[in-house]
């Protein structure tokens, strides 16, 4: 038994009938068109995943980074300003 209860001989007969109906050139063209469509779909999915990861990285990135030295210098400047007032 072959695939799903279909024997190898039945598959060969169906393949022969398809070749007789469509011809080898038309089947070759359909195969290349199908391959191109699958390749384009995979590329589009990869581009979508890359865009999604870029967006996620942009969202997760902090808007600004502050060092502790800058914070302490501002605090000391505020303290001096209060003392002078």
Q: What pLDDT shows up at residue 82? A: 67
- Looking from the CA of 77 toward its CB, the CA atoms found within 13 Å total 6
Q: Report how far residue 72's alpha carbon sits from residue 54's, in angstroms, rounded to the nearest whole number.
A: 34
HSE toward the beta carbon, residue 42, CA cutoff 13 A: 6
The rounded distance, in Å, linking the Cα atoms of 40 and 27 is: 20
pLDDT recorded at residue 10: 92
Average pLDDT per consecutive 10 residues, the chain (85 residues; last block may be shorter): 77 92 89 92 85 78 62 62 64
Q: What is the pLDDT of residue 3?
A: 61
């Amino acid at each position: 038994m072959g695939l799903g209860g279909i024997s190898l001989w039945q598959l060969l007969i169906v393949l022969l009938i398809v070749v007789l109906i469509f011809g080898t050139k038309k089947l070759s063209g359909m195969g290349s068109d199908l391959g191109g469509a699958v390749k384009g779909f995979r590329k589009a999915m990869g581009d979508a995943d890359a865009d999604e990861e870029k967006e996620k990285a942009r969202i997760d990135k902090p808007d600004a980074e502050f060092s502790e030295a800058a914070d302490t210098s501002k605090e000391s400047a505020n303290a001096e300003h209060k003392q002078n007032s």
